[in-house]
Amino acid sequence: MRKRSIALIVYFVLLFIPIYWMVITSLKTDNEILKELTFFPKEITFKHYMEIFTSEVWRNSFINSLTYVFLNVIMTLVAAIPGAYAFSRWNFRGSHHLFFWLLTNRMAPAAVFMIPFTELYYILHIYDTVWAVALAHCLINIPLAIWILEGFMSGIPREIDETAFIDGYSFPRFFRKIFLPLIGPGIGVTAFFCFTFSWVELILAQALTVTNAKPVVVTLTVGIGAEGVKWGLLAAAGFLTIIPGAVVVYFVRNYMAKGFALGRV
Amino acid sequence: MKNRAWFFLIPTLFLVSISAFIPLMTVINYSIHYIFAGSMPTFVGLENYAEVLADPAFRGALGRQLVLSTLILAVEIPLGIAIALALPRKGWQMALCLVLLGIPLLIPFNVVGIIWRLFTQSDIGPLPELLAMFGYNFNVALDAFDAPATIFLLDVWHWTPLAALLSFAGLQAIPDAYYQAAEIDGASAWKTFRYVTLPKLKPVLILAVLLRFMDSFKIYAEPLLLTGGGPGSSTTFLSLHVARKAQSYDLGYAGAVSIIYLFIVIVFCYLFFQIITHLGKGEEG
């Protein structure tokens, strides 16, 4: 048992060394970053963070990112919950193939879809809006959400549905009052994964936005510009992109634990 | 009654059609035309496919991709299971570990590239310095072995937590009764793992393998930021190859590469899915 915990601690230390390096780089002066390797900043500076906080471009891009991730999670859940219910409760013609086919959509490289998406969203008049990115991310999130939710739903015995109907529950009432609370942890886990994958995605977010809806992942790459790489600024921005996610994880941690304890995912 | 299922699927099918189906049809349409920046498309049938398959740049990218994805699966899945087995099973320690595991997953792909650049770049990162102490001259920007090795390391670092989280979810779902029964039967730790834990983990491991395989095939931003696909083409994996062609408006070629690429991933995933679902049938208990 002891050996296990030591191995685990070593793993977590290794896991966090690169992140630690980014954090201390973000607090160093540009001079120190380039001049020598120090494992703790000699002179702590918040200059890079100030540069980000005072810039409207950075602020807007953080807001844009959070908005489309939020929209995407909502859209994904609204579509995937009934979809997963269909797969978990009925064996209809072609259901197995359809179930697998959904996942194949996630397999396509995002780079492939750049141009068709651009064309399509131009036609729909949503190019360069957060809606375009939110919709595009459904490509990666809906299949995953359905797969995860189906696992959770299949873990709930059909008898529960049947008993509820015998007791005179209408379908919407049964769904809201009984079924949704039962798969609550599963929805939490699914939302976490959707948040993650939408938050970290770059290619589509980059292809579908120009200025109005530019997300933070794109603003970040701009930092690698012609006038030499601003390492301190990049590190600071990189660290800031982790924070919303970390906050989400913190709030759903018990949910995650419960969800993981309950479902077969 | 069964038609009801389709009713429930309407929102899904609607969103998938505008986020996946229509774009995919457009790509297929590109792949059978000769299109070059603004010129009128001409129908060329399968010519683009022939061109792609004969292209050494494509073959090179595919080969590198297959090696990378195989290594990733071979390392991340077993490592993920091992970590999941070592995690505390309840209480605040478990919550803490889950949060810690969740954090790397939440780092955007390009930030991962940036972190690893800060970490491995000569003159600003600690890794080359450390390896120099062991007499190894590490240079991610110039060495055709170090660059892909770093990508591999980076991916293991970034995504093993996903395999661990999924395995952990699977472990948590195994009722204690199975372990008690194994203990009563006097099964060794290895046998318990082999005949109780592993078969029960199958559903989550299928998901983990499929996700890791298809996502590793899509690796794009990390090599782009770390080395820009170089040195030479040592870190130009398939997605980077496709994106370059698409960005240079060689749409016919890009379309054909994409379809071939998609075909490979789907075939692999389908075979894996079929084999694994049928294979373990006898073992489940």
Q: What is the mean pLDDT of chain B?
A: 85
Number of neighbouring beta carbons within 10 Å of residue A67: 17
Interface of B with A in 169-188 (CB under 8 A): 169-170, 172-173
Q: What is the pLDDT of residue A263?
A: 47
Instruction: Tell me what ipTM this predicted complex has.
Output: 0.84
Q: What is the pLDDT of residue B47?
A: 84
* Residue B102 near residue B164, CB atoms below 8 Å: no
For residue A112, which of B252, B45, B239 has the smallest C-alpha distance? B239
Spell out which residues of chain A touch residue B94, defining contact as CB-CB under 8 Å. Answer: 257
Spell out which residues of chain B touch residue A199, defining contact as CB-CB under 8 Å. Answer: 106, 108
Q: Reply yes or no on whether the pLDDT at B36 is more than 80.
A: no
Q: Reply yes or no on whether the pLDDT at A264 is more than 50.
A: no
Q: What is the pLDDT of residue B196?
A: 86
How far does A77 lie from chain B, in Å, by closest CA? 10
Q: What is the mean pLDDT of the segment spanning B148-156?
A: 94
Q: How far apart are the first and last CA of chain B?
A: 32
Q: Reply yes or no on whether the pLDDT at B285 is more than 50.
A: no
Q: What is the pLDDT of residue B72?
A: 96
Give the chain A residue whose CA is nearest to the CA of B20: A139
Residue B144 contacts A where some CB pair is shorter than 8 Å: no
Q: What is the pLDDT of residue B37?
A: 61
Per residue in B79-127, pLDDT tens?
Answer: 999 999 999 887 788 888 888 888 888 888 888 888 898 888 887 788 8
Q: What is the pLDDT of residue A90?
A: 86
- The secondary structure of chain A, three-state, reads CHHHHHHHHHHHHHHHHHHHHHHHHHHCCHHHHHHCCCCCCCCCCCHHHHHHHCCHHHHHHHHHHHHHHHHHHHHHHHHHHHHHHHHHHCCCCCHHHHHHHHHHHHHCCHHHHHHHHHHHHHHCCCCCCHHHHHHHCHHHHHHHHHHHHHHHHHCCCHHHHHHHHHCCCCHHHHHHHHHHHHCHHHHHHHHHHHHHHHHHCCHHHHHCCCCCCCCHHHHHHHCCCCCCCCHHHHHHHHHHHHHHHHHHHHHHHHHHHHHHHHCCC
Cis peptide before B41 (omega within 30 of 0): no
Q: What is the mean pLDDT of the segment spanning A175-196?
A: 87
Per residue in B16-28, pLDDT tens?
Answer: 888 888 888 888 8
Q: What is the pLDDT of residue B148?
A: 92
Q: How many CB pairs under 8 A join A and B?
A: 280
> Higher pLDDT residue, A251 or B281?
A251
Q: What is the pLDDT of residue A257?
A: 62
Q: Reply yes or no on whether the pLDDT at A44 is more than 80.
A: yes
Q: What is the pLDDT of residue A13?
A: 94
d(CA B243, CA A112): 7
Letter string b/e over residues A12-29, b meaning 16 or more CB atoms within 10 A of that residue's CB: eeebeebbebbbbbbbbb
> Higher pLDDT residue, A131 or A230?
A131
Q: What is the pLDDT of residue B283?
A: 47
Residue B269 contacts A where some CB pair is shorter than 8 Å: yes
> Higher pLDDT residue, A225 or A185?
A185
State phi, psi for A209 to the nearest 5 degrees.
Answer: -130, 145
User: pLDDT-based confidence at A261, cuts 50/70/90?
Assistant: low
Helix (H, G, I), strand (E, B) or coil at B122: coil
> Higher pLDDT residue, B245 or A72?
A72
Q: How far is CA A226 from CA A223, B133, B266, in A?
A: 9, 33, 40
- R_g over Cα of chain A: 22
Say which range, A138-152, A222-236, B129-143, B198-212, has the weakest mean pLDDT: A222-236
Q: What is the pLDDT of residue B153?
A: 94
Q: Reply yes or no on whether the pLDDT at B240 is more than 70.
A: yes
Looking at the partner chain, which of A37, A115, A124 has a beta carbon nearest the beta carbon of B126? A37
Q: Considering chain A, what percentage of its residues have pLDDT values greater than 70?
A: 92
Per residue in B126-148, pLDDT tens?
Answer: 888 888 888 888 888 888 889 99
Q: Considering chain B, what percentage of its residues have pLDDT values greater than 70?
A: 95
Name the range with the highest mean pLDDT among A228-237, B1-10, B208-217.
Answer: B208-217
* Residue A6 near residue A23, CB atoms below 8 Å: no
Letter string b/e over residues B63-79, b meaning 16 or more CB atoms within 10 A of that residue's CB: ebbeebbebbbebbbeb
Q: Reply yes or no on whether the pLDDT at B208 is more than 80.
A: yes
Number of H helices, E strands in chain B: 14, 2
Interface of A with B in 8-67 (CB under 8 A): 8, 11-12, 14-19, 21-22, 25, 33-34, 37, 39
**Hey, what amino acid is at B170?**
G
User: pLDDT-based confidence at A265, cuts 50/70/90?
Assistant: very low
